[in-house]
Amino acid sequence: MFFTDKEHFVQAEGCDYFRVLHGRVCEKLTIPQISQALDIKKTDVENYYKAARKRLAAKLKELVHEHVQRYCDRCHPDPEFESEWNRIGQYLEEHGGLEQAVAKVYETSGPVQAARRQPQVITTTLRRLTQAIPKVPNRPDA
């Protein structure tokens, strides 16, 4: 799972920002679909989604800052952080934004990818089985 800190996206009152974000970005659900599934108002879904996106960006920024502090001069981390943050921003802009990056990670890992590979795995397994079965010589009709 992309998010290692799910609690970061769940509000104390019980509003589940994470599920709204996951539904929109990973499951490609519409706001009405999420509203119905979670039994919350459409306006709440929209607000949770906006808030979750902001929280996700803030968490990414925090993680980049921590990463930079591990390898650069502790006296001058800001220029290196700005450089890293700008590179990430440029990359995300060129590739559809943060939400697209999350969606791509989701699609290329876990159950989604496994489901897509299943027909190929079955076909490969069947080929291997048929190659392993000893050939029976043709018998003349009796």
For residue 52, give the nearest of 85, 79, 76, 19 by alpha carbon. 19
The residue assigned the tokens 């003349």 is: 140
123 in any annotated domain: no
Q: What is the pLDDT of residue 47?
A: 95
User: What total of structural domains would you count in the chain?
Assistant: 1
- Which residues in the chain land under pLDDT 70? 1-15, 73-75, 110-118, 121-142
CA dist., res. 105 & res. 131, Å (int): 36
| pTM (whole model) above 0.85 | no
93 in any annotated domain: yes
CA dist., res. 16 & res. 59, Å (int): 17
The residue assigned the tokens 């800001």 is: 78
115 in any annotated domain: no
108 in any annotated domain: no
What type of residue is 20?
Answer: V
Range of the domain at 67: 6-102
142 in any annotated domain: no
Q: What is the pLDDT of residue 3?
A: 38
For the chain, what's the residue count? 142
Q: What is the pLDDT of residue 92?
A: 86
